[in-house]
Structure 1
Amino acid sequence: MKTSPQASVQSSLLIHQAIPEFQDWLSRRGLSSETVRRYHMDIRQFSNWLAMNSNGPVLIDEITTKRLEGFVDYLSKERNCLPRSVNRKINVVSVFFQCMVKKKYLLENPAEDVERMKVPDIERTFLSKDEVERIIGAIDHPVIHYFTMTMAYTGIRVNECINLTKDDVDFDANCVRVINGKGGKNRVVPMNLKLKEQLQIYLAEHRPQTDSLFFFALKKTGTVSAQYINRTLKLACEKTGIEKHVTSHFLRHSFASYLVQKDTHVAVIQRLLGHASLKTTSVYLHVRQEDMQDAVNRIDF
């Protein structure tokens, strides 16, 4: 088992002194402000846990693999975090130490040898075509109605949809441009012709008079929030009698699942969703019981 070496090129830092340097390093790597914010929350949680368990400030070169394993136990046993959440936090801590190594405060990353928790394979729930149509139809607020329609027809993330500007929705090129999406990446998503027609109606008849540059804008705030979207989706489900716990991510997930049912090549779905690897996209490849029945019915020895 490795421990952080006591020798370092520069004088060691207290972890709370290192956090601002870590944030600056993340920002200069081109990560979005939201990603930097989430990384900061996770590393701050780790720092607070260390201080609580050490009765005082901790130098970064005093943090060993064993102490990190104690943090894993704390998250999983005391905070009851799910394995996926624990792994995400440990990955953030590992990136933090990677930064400290690059800045010559440490020679090694003590998080490298921390075992990640096994994540059970849980097939995700998705909405059927009928359920998507019923939910969108039940949303009376015009801005949110067209917002959810855009998510359902493009599969973009809720924050990507929130950040769309009027220039990003290109009716001439029939596409939606996602700028600085997850991981700071850009991508172009083709626009369904039905969606194009509906969004033109939205601009002409329903978008409030506002100076906001955002494509989806409320008159009062000039934007929309993910919380408001999720609250509206919950009310739409209650109105239509859909008992699933639907959030905005369900629209993205259902977009992918519907394309799978239409026999769309997984590489195309990967590009549309903006996934870095096919492994991430594979969680959407549902195998339904009726599909398996149909498959075995084709056997004719």
Structure 2
Amino acid sequence: MRDDIARFIDHLTVAGRSPHTLAGYRADLETLTGQLQPKTLAEAQAIDLRKALAQQHARGLGSRSLARRLSAWRQFYQWLQHSGQREDNPASALRAPKRDKLLPKALPVDGAAALLDRIEGDDELDARDRAIFELVYSCGLRLSETVGLNLQDVDFSDQLLRIRGKGGKERLAPIGAEAMRRLQTWLAQRQAAADEPALFTGRHGRRLGGRQIEKRLRDWAIKTGASQHVHPHMLRHSFASHLLQSSGDLRAVQELLGHANLSSTQIYTALDFQHLAKVYDQAHPRARQAPAKPDTDEDS
């Protein structure tokens, strides 16, 4: 069957698949060959492939990798069908396990405060950066929402921010005192073209782009000694997680984030539970109590 694998790879090569894809498919099929022994690839039935998939899952292979391997198997057996070596495709009805749901990464409360407090400098762009990231953290903004903000979206009298979210939906969010103070500092230094409505502008006086914001936060995180890569969406996740930890009000967090469905917000309850579990382990007097030694006194 190794000859069949070689011919299949030749077929994919002619079809223009990348060397990386070819190497991955070859490895996936050779792994399957080892699992099926003494059967060959051509003799395998759906139950054999299902067993091989389950074994790989049990060994810790992630859902993404399993889906890729299953795709390689399907294409191989489809090629065997077209070349007249099989009448069926035993992989056609198989499904990979559901993709692992990755929890959003959030900074701890003190980590978010430490990062923001260290964004300081004499340049007006330093003041702008502090205002941007304080506002993102204060209002739970998406990157696209931050980029799209205009001067008229800030209500200084009521300390509210009008946000245009996904699908053009608008929402209002309160602006925290520190974010408001940093906004006022930035606007006192803001230099923009006369026809530029953007709240945040670059050196040329035009609207700041998302890539620039991402780069500035990455650079600040490195300068301030952050222990992990920090991106703007992490500040949004931190906003949601910290607000939920303090209030426990899932509906309010949903409204502030601009989520259409509560299910999108519920992922933060997992982060909140992780926080509570950690607090419990550290604080509860019996959380980590050592097991009692067995009593050996015969008279007891």
TMscore range, shorter length? 0.5 to 0.7
In structure 2, C-alpha distance between the alignment counterparts of 1:169 and 1:127, rounded to whole Å: 26
For 1:133, the equivalent position in structure 2 comes to: 113
TM-score w.r.t. length of structure 1: 0.56
For 1:158, the equivalent position in structure 2 comes to: 143
CA drift of 1:295 comes to 8.7
Q: What is the total number of aligned residue pairs between the two structures?
A: 191
Q: Is the 8 Å Cα contact of residues 216 and 223 (structure 1) preserved in structure 2?
A: yes
**Counterpart check, 1:291 vs 2:292:** no
Point out where structure 1 has 5 or more consecutive residues left out of the alignment: 1-51, 54-81, 87-114
**Counterpart check, 1:122 vs 2:102:** yes
Aligned-partner SS, 1:188: strand
For 1:262, the equivalent position in structure 2 comes to: 246
In structure 2, C-alpha distance between the alignment counterparts of 1:255 and 1:143, rounded to whole Å: 20
Higher relative contact order (CA 8 A, sep 6+): 1
User: 1:130 is matched by which residue type in structure 2?
Assistant: D
For 1:143, the equivalent position in structure 2 comes to: 128
Q: Is the 8 Å Cα contact of residues 127 and 182 (structure 2) preserved in structure 1?
A: no
Aligned-partner SS, 1:262: helix
Aligned-partner SS, 1:189: strand
In structure 1, C-alpha distance between the alignment counterparts of 2:179 and 2:96, rounded to whole Å: 42
User: 2:168 is matched by which residue type in structure 1?
Assistant: G
CA drift of 1:157 comes to 0.7
Q: Is the 8 Å Cα contact of residues 143 and 218 (structure 1) preserved in structure 2?
A: no
Q: Is the 8 Å Cα contact of residues 152 and 254 (structure 1) preserved in structure 2?
A: yes
CA drift of 1:297 comes to 5.3
Q: Is the 8 Å Cα contact of residues 192 and 201 (structure 2) preserved in structure 1?
A: no
In structure 2, C-alpha distance between the alignment counterparts of 1:298 and 1:268, rounded to whole Å: 34
| Deviation sequence 1:218-275 (CA, Å, 0-9, x none) | 2415111111111122222222221212111001001111112213401000000000
In structure 2, C-alpha distance between the alignment counterparts of 1:295 and 1:280, rounded to whole Å: 31
User: 2:279 is matched by which residue type in structure 1?
Assistant: D
Higher gyration radius (CA) = 2
CA drift of 1:164 comes to 0.8
For 2:236, the equivalent position in structure 1 comes to: 252
Point out where structure 2 has 5 or more consecutive residues left out of the alignment: 1-14, 17-62, 68-94, 288-300
In structure 2, C-alpha distance between the alignment counterparts of 1:116 and 1:164, rounded to whole Å: 42
Superposition map of 1:119-268 within 5 A: 119-136=99-116, 137-138=118-119, 140=121, 141-179=126-164, 181-204=165-188, 206-211=189-194, 212-268=196-252
CA drift of 1:216 comes to 0.9
User: 1:213 is matched by which residue type in structure 2?
Assistant: P
Aligned-partner SS, 1:152: helix
- Over 3 Å counting, the alpha-carbon distance change for 1:271 and 1:245 in structure 2 is same
Q: Is the 8 Å Cα contact of residues 155 and 255 (structure 1) preserved in structure 2?
A: yes
In structure 2, C-alpha distance between the alignment counterparts of 1:185 and 1:173, rounded to whole Å: 21
In structure 2, C-alpha distance between the alignment counterparts of 1:291 and 1:129, rounded to whole Å: 14
Aligned-partner SS, 2:172: strand
CA drift of 1:146 comes to 0.9
User: 1:207 is matched by which residue type in structure 2?
Assistant: R
For 1:282, the equivalent position in structure 2 comes to: 266
In structure 2, C-alpha distance between the alignment counterparts of 1:120 and 1:139, rounded to whole Å: 39
Q: What is the root-mean-square deviation in Å for CA atoms of aligned residues?
A: 3.0
For 1:4, the equivalent position in structure 2 comes to: none
In structure 1, C-alpha distance between the alignment counterparts of 2:96 and 2:177, rounded to whole Å: 44
| Deviation sequence 1:42-86 (CA, Å, 0-9, x none) | xxxxxxxxxx79xxxxxxxxxxxxxxxxxxxxxxxxxxxx86xx9
Q: Is the 8 Å Cα contact of residues 153 and 192 (structure 1) preserved in structure 2?
A: yes
User: 1:126 is matched by which residue type in structure 2?
Assistant: A
- Over 3 Å counting, the alpha-carbon distance change for 1:270 and 1:237 in structure 2 is same
In structure 1, C-alpha distance between the alignment counterparts of 2:286 and 2:250, rounded to whole Å: 24
Q: Is the 8 Å Cα contact of residues 135 and 175 (structure 2) preserved in structure 1?
A: no
> Quick one: percent identity of the two aligned structures?
28
Q: Is the 8 Å Cα contact of residues 168 and 178 (structure 1) preserved in structure 2?
A: yes
In structure 1, C-alpha distance between the alignment counterparts of 2:220 and 2:284, rounded to whole Å: 38
In structure 2, C-alpha distance between the alignment counterparts of 1:232 and 1:173, rounded to whole Å: 29
| Deviation sequence 1:163-218 (CA, Å, 0-9, x none) | 11111111123210012x112211111122332232122212x2124321011112
- Over 3 Å counting, the alpha-carbon distance change for 1:142 and 1:214 in structure 2 is same
In structure 2, C-alpha distance between the alignment counterparts of 1:276 and 1:244, rounded to whole Å: 30
